[in-house]
Amino acid sequence: MLIMNPAKSIWLVQASVVALLVVTGGASAGTLDHIEQEKAIRIAYREDAPPFSYKDKIGEPAGFMVDLCRAVAKKLAEQRSLPALSVAYVPVTARDRFEAITQQKADLLCEPTSATLSRREVVDFSLPTFLDGASLMVRADGPKDLRELAGKQIGVLAGTTTEESLRNSLKDTGINGEIVAVKTHGEGLAMLDDGKISAYFGDRSILLFLVKDSKAPEKLRLADDYLSVEPYALALPRGDSDFRLAVDRALSHIYRSGEIGPIFERTFGGKAKPSQILQSLYLISGLPD
């Protein structure tokens, strides 16, 4: 039997631990550690998803989700006893937004992201942040509902759950409409204004916000149909439970304290009020400590 010197055994164990940490890249260091070391949080946002995430007239990130993430950053700083956190903005598109999280380019995805089970295979999600539903924006003299769009062209933002919902709705109802996938909401609105499509499909809050940018907003209206329910949440790195808990704690405090009210008003205007279902969402999601 080989008898090993105890001191040498301890040295080998320590060396093995160091080697393991090197191989795993120091896996124990999570998002919160990175944020605390850098005294900064990286927020991914979309430039083309008003009123939730967009670039304003002076080129600054703006919108409901962006403002909400700024409030979360403030709460995180308080949790970690930091004087403040600077915010670094990472622009993303509808197509590459999740890569910003999975490739560690950003810490939080702050845009109208619908939480789905399939997406939870890639990223984790915070508590719900908004509840919306998809509908149609049409010309006043055009089709009044989905059934009247048979044989017509319908625009939708490419690579989104909204596009998937539209395809499923057409399939389920047996309507043979032609889907036109666009790169931005602005492109879809312009096509509707110019009569190149008969309707544009999107979340109602986004459509309401888009109308003001129309060449002739008085000629557009929203259909009555709610064709999907879209529960929004903030996407964050999968498997980082400490960071997710910290973000959820921040959101809970924002909801319980009533801070969510001014954030909502800045985006939708002083006369706009959260719907009953949205108020219930914030009441339920304001978890106790």
Q: Given this model, what pLDDT does residue 276 score?
A: 82
Among 51-65, 125-139, 166-180, 263-277, the minimum mean pLDDT is found in 263-277
Residue 12 pLDDT grade (very low, low, confident, very high; cuts 50, 70, 90): very low
pLDDT band at 288 (very low <50, low <70, confident <90, very high): very high
Residues 69 and 22 sit within 8 Å (Cβ to Cβ)? no
pLDDT (tens digit, 9 = 90+) per residue, 155-210? 999 988 889 989 998 998 899 999 999 999 999 999 999 999 999 999 888 888 88
Give one DSSP letter per residue of 23-91, joined into a string.
Answer: HHTSTT--HHHHHHHHTEEEEEEESEETTTEEE-TTS-EESHHHHHHHHHHHHHHHHTT-S--EEEEEE
CB 205 within 8 A of CB 52: yes
Amino acid at 97: R
Judged against a pLDDT cut of 60, whether residue 52 lies above it is answered with: yes
pLDDT over 70, % of the chain: 88
- Of 126, 120, 103, the residue nearest 244 (C-alpha): 126
Q: What pLDDT is recorded for position 228?
A: 77
Report whether 236 contacts 76 (CB < 8 A).
no
pLDDT score, position 25: 38
pLDDT at 151: 92
103 Cβ partners below 8 Å, 6+ apart? Answer: none
Give the separation between CA 78 and CA 250, rounded to whole angstroms: 9
The helix/strand/coil state of 176 is: coil
Strand-pair partners of 159: none
Alpha-carbon gap, residue 163 to 181, rounded angstroms: 8
Query: Which residues touch 55 (CB under 8 Å, ≥6 apart)?
Result: 47, 61, 62
pLDDT of residue 77: 96
Secondary structure of residue 251 in the 3-state scheme: helix
Average pLDDT over all residues of the chain: 87
pLDDT tens-digit map of 20-35: 333 333 334 699 999 9
Distance in angstroms (rounded) separating the CA atoms of residues 241 and 181: 36
The pLDDT of residue 90 is above 70: yes
pLDDT at 13 over 50: no
CB-CB contact of 166 with 156 (8 Å): yes
Q: What is the predicted pLDDT for the residue at 17?
A: 39
What separation, in Å, do the N-terminal and C-terminal C-alpha atoms of the chain show?
56
Position 19 pLDDT exceeds 70: no
Give the pLDDT of residue 270: 67
User: Is the separation of the CB atoms in 122 and 183 below 8 Å?
Assistant: no
| Confidence (pLDDT) at 262 | 93
The predicted model gives 9-30 an average pLDDT of 44
Task: Convert the pLDDT of each residue in 242-276 to its tens digit.
Answer: 999 999 999 999 999 999 999 999 988 766 678 78
Residue 119 DSSP code: G
